Amino acid sequence: MSKHPFNLYYNGGEYVKICGTQDGYFPDFGHHTANEMGGIWLHPIKLLDGFWLKLTDTKRNISVWSRADGFTSEPWGSRFQYDHGLSHIPVAMERTQFAPERVKGMTAAYELHHYGDEDLHLQVELLVRTDLRPVWFSDEVGVHDGVRDEPTVLNPREVLVQDEGNPWFTLVGTDLAGEELEVRSDLYGPEFTAGAGCGIAFRTELTMAAGERRRFHLFVAGSCTSREECEDSYRLLAAAHEALLAEKRGVYSAVAERAKLTVEGEPLWNEAFKWAKWNNQWLIQQVDGTGRGLTAGGPTYPWWFGCDSTYALQGVLAIGDPQLAKDTLNLLLEKSEEVNGNGRFIHELTTLGAVSNRGNTQETAHYIAFVWELFRWTGDEELLRRHYGYCVKGIGWLLGEMDPDGDLFPSGYGIIEIAGLNMELIDSAVYTAKALQAMAEMSGYLQEAEAQQKYSELAQRCTAAVNRSFWQENEGLFADAVAPVADVASKADFLVSLAEAQGVTGYREYMDRLLEADGADFTATAADADAAAGIQANAGHPADRGWLLNKNWVIVTPMEAGIAEPDKARRALDNMRNDTFIGEYGTYLSGMFQQGTMTISTGVHAVAEAASGNPDAALALLGRMLRSFSRVLPGSFSEMSPDYGCVVQAWTIYALAVPVVRHFFGAEPFAARKELRLKPQLPSAWSGKACTLERLVIGEAEFGLSLTEKDGVLQALIHNEAGWKVTVEWNGQIVESCEQRIELKLSGIELEAEEKR
């Protein structure tokens, strides 16, 4: 329960999203669609600005708009407690609300409890403000909000509202007793809202005996296509809301049981991991005619992104929802083909189906790398073939149009979207190397030998070039970017202005020192041209050098992606385990500025540590991230640690699930071959503790893993009901088995293995 009533909450079915404040109100906020990001949304349209309840004690002439003094976040919805917020009226109240998973509507249930000694005469007013309007970026593609919402009273307890200029509908109703109704465009409750909708007030008089309870509901349904669909959804919701809530509880119970983590003696870890899976479910968005996929964050980014997805979907695979990963990537591929067609992967797609950014350089490379991982976890060859053709185009775009100097480092913006930083950036270069490795694997699996050889050679050269050109020997770190001195000098004033705007002093002097440094140590010889690929690969021009401009968090990506040479990886990670890069809640976005931390910066850093064999350092970073758990919304991590930005963010599941599943438990699947390799590396803080991961979904199979490590000895129990080939590697010992129940005791000195059915 939270006692911070003005923080936001976020309830989500796959169709409808609800966002207000934890005191039960719906204030205007947001910048994409100014002051309109809250309320009730049926994407790509908004239905309501909000709803409010007023109670009047008619005997004593006391009126109060109810404001919650307690809030409980549930995986399936929210509960608001009104124990002390109703002034001197002797009534306690609870409001419970949820959006069904697959119905285009929501319901709020109110229960009043009269705790006084005498009969109580009340007037009850349930007020709703409609606001039928489209999602952000609609004007740019020719979809415009009508001037007003037009209401039609169906009966005293149901009002249908249509946008004046579009087939957008909402039907609002209640089972509150009585027939008094008022509908006006200028009818407001306790908050003025900016939307050009209408106010609807359902009122009634009632008498409550001492100790009596009364219950009633608000029902809201919508459609962005027809009145008939809106009315059908409403009738279903009003008739079956209890069954729909039971169904939703069942969905969330199933999510909790899938990839269920239990670490003995670590209740916070177990709880946070479970809630992260539930948070992920809140962010699924289905839009008829557009598609289904994982949105980036609520309430500020309730649509789809390229790079957010290629991070978050790695976590989605680890928690066992392959269909969501497929749906999301297919949706982004379809739009990339539609608006680009040349292999470039889109950055931002609204729920209206409009692309506002055709794609940053880094996310095309990251997309290609992820396609191979998705295949390894699902074994879906049809999906692999569907994406492979676009991946071929994507490599051509990266190493052609985006790499005019042919050094295998594509130019343009990476995940750090700072104006002016559109150079040859570390994340774009690293993920291009990873993409080339993935292309070699994909083409090899698809038996395209010539392509496999070409991509393999390019991957080796690109990996070597990253280690040569981005490595800063004097700093023991990888650089943010590679560029000629003249290119950085021309951006120096702009970069200084950015630093000074954030209150950073001394950055001008820092830039001057960088520009004056001897560039001899940063040069690299040209590599041979690749005639078969038609790409010049002269990695590292004499005029180019690496630049640590901001010490952005993406300088850990060579270790995260596993392409850093071992000695460089060790030195870089050693040199980042300090307060230049790490703050109270995790890894700073910029070691230079130290003014922001995200779950993604901390998560990628943790994966880098774990992938480099440092589980203790990875756990330490994640422990810092866990300090932000429930700081704003109980059961959730904010986008910006510890307490601002979106109250729920998709790539948090990457930050938690990937280190745990792929590194601590060491899961490396190849579903198409029905193989699972386990290379566990449990943190020393979990030594002697039973660590279990139940119902790990890979392809069509499920696995149960139970690991305990103590004094270098690993005891493992693996449930392998599908009979896959399971390989366990521990301290140089390797055991293979296809048994349905595998019990192992492994150490680096001796090996005891007992396999039982």
CB atoms within 10 A of CB 476: 15
- CATH assignment of 258-663, among 3.50.30.50, 3.40.50.261, 1.50.10.10, 1.10.10.10: 1.50.10.10
Q: What is the mean pLDDT of residues 343-371?
A: 97
Two tokens, residue 76: 């399936």
CB 170 within 8 A of CB 161: yes
**pLDDT at 519 (0 to 100):** 46
Q: Which helix (H) or strand (E) holds 313?
A: helix 306-318
Residue 498: predicted pLDDT: 87
- pLDDT at residue 83, rounded to an integer: 86
How many separate helices (H) and strands (E) can be counted in the chain?
15, 40
Q: Are 442 and 388 in contact (CB under 8 A)?
A: yes
The model's pLDDT over 459-512, given as tens digits with 9 standing for 90+, comes to 999 999 999 999 999 999 999 999 999 889 988 998 899 888 888 889 999 999
Residues 6 or more apart in contact with residue 194 via CB below 8 angstroms: 28, 34, 35, 36, 49
Smallest Cα–Cα separation from 418: which of 511, 499, 513, 332? 499
Q: Kindly indicate the confidence band of residue 524, based on its pLDDT and cuts at 50, 70 and 90.
A: very low
pLDDT tens-digit map of 18-59: 999 999 999 999 999 999 999 999 999 999 999 999 999 999
Q: Say how far apart CA 325 and CA 316 lie, in whole Å.
A: 6
- Rounded to two decimals, what is the model's pTM? 0.94
Instruction: With cut-offs at 50, 70 and 90, classify the pLDDT of residue 538.
Output: very low
| pLDDT given for residue 531 in this prediction | 30
599-611 vs 306-318: helix crossing angle, rounded to 10: 50
CA angle 474, 609, 366 (to 5 degrees): 90
* Residue whose token pair is 């292999």: 343
The answer to whether 8 touches 14, Cβ cutoff 8 Å, is no
| Token pair belonging to 16 | 């409808």
What are residue 546's phi and psi, to 5 degrees? -85, 150
* CA distances from residue 471 to 334, 468, 523 in whole angstroms, order as listed: 37, 6, 11
588-608 per-position pLDDT tens digit: 999 999 989 999 999 999 999
Cα separation, 129 vs 199, whole angstroms? 5
- Pairwise pLDDT comparison (5 vs 26), residue with the higher score: 26
**What is the pLDDT averaged over residues 2-15?**
79
Q: Extract the tokens encoding 268.
A: 């916070």
The percent of residues above 90 in pLDDT, for the chain, comes to 89
Mean pLDDT of 431-436: 98
pLDDT of residue 422: 74
Tell me the C-alpha distance between 173 and 217, whole Å.
8
Model confidence over 649-685: pLDDT tens digits? 999 999 999 999 999 999 999 999 999 999 999 999 9
Distance between CA atoms of residues 523 and 489, nearest Å: 18
Q: Which two tokens stand for residue 228?
A: 């008939």
Distance CA(211)–CA(114), nearest Å, equals 5
What is the dotted CATH code of the domain comprising 8-253? Answer: 2.70.98.10
Locate all alpha helices (DSSP H) within 411-565, ordered by sequence.
426-445, 449-469, 485-501, 507-516, 557-560
CA distance 654 to 223: 33
| Confidence band for 256, pLDDT divided at 50, 70 and 90 | very high
**Contact of 237 with 90, CB cutoff 8 Å:** no
First vs last C-alpha separation in the chain: 46
Residue type, 735: V
In this structure, are residues 233 and 104 in contact, taking their beta carbons and an 8 Å threshold? yes
The domain limits of the chain are: 8-253, 258-663, 665-756
The 3-state DSSP composition of the chain as helix, strand, coil percent (nearest 5) reads: 35, 30, 35
> What is the rounded average pLDDT for all residues in the chain?
93
What DSSP string describes 154-210?
Answer: EETTEEEEEETTSS-EEEEEE--SS-EEEEETT---SS---SS--EEEEEEEEEE-T
Question: What is the Cα–Cα distance from 191 to 195, expressed in whole angstroms?
Answer: 12
* Alpha-carbon span 464 to 339, nearest angstrom: 34
For range 252-276, the mean pLDDT: 98
Q: Phi first, then psi: what are they for 433, rounded to 5°?
A: -60, -40
Question: How far is it, in rounded angstroms, from Cα 190 to Cα 20?
Answer: 14
Q: Quickly state the pLDDT bin for 535 (edges 50, 70, 90).
A: very low
Q: How far apart are CA 516 and CA 58, in angstroms?
A: 79
Residue 1 has a pLDDT of: 39
DSSP secondary structure of 565-604: -HHHHHHHHHHHSSTTTEETTEEBSBTTT---BBHHHHHH
Provide the percentage of residues in the chain whose pLDDT is more than 70.
94
> Residue 537's pLDDT band (boundaries 50, 70, 90)?
very low
Give Cα 474 distance to the centre of its chain.
36
Owner of token pair 């890894």 = 587
For residue 347, give both structure tokens: 């950055």
Q: In the prediction, which pLDDT does 315 show?
A: 98
Any alpha helices (H) in 502-657, and if so which ranges? 507-516, 557-560, 566-576, 599-611, 615-626, 652-657
- The CATH code for residues 665-756 is 2.60.420
pLDDT of 522 above 60: no
**Range from 532-546, 567-581, 654-668, 670-684 carrying the lowest mean pLDDT:** 532-546
- In whole angstroms, give the CA distance from residue 567 to residue 577: 16
Judge whether residue 521 has pLDDT over 80: no
Helix axes 381-399, 449-469, angle to 10 degrees: 50
Query: What's the whole-number mean pLDDT along residues 98-124?
Result: 97
Average pLDDT for 568-595: 97
pLDDT (0 to 100) of residue 419: 65
The reported pLDDT for the residue numbered 539 is 43
| pLDDT tens digits, one per residue of 185-240 | 999 999 999 988 999 999 999 999 999 999 999 999 999 999 999 999 999 999 99
Least confident of 20-29, 326-335, 529-538: 529-538
CB 128 within 8 Å of CB 51 = yes
The whole-number pLDDT of residue 470 equals 97
- Which of residues 523 and 52 earns the better pLDDT score? 52
- Reduce the DSSP state of residue 555 to 3 states and report it: helix
Torsion angles phi and psi, residue 426, rounded to 5: -60, -45
Sorted by sequence, the CB contacts under 8 Å of residue 59 that are 6+ apart come out as: 120, 121
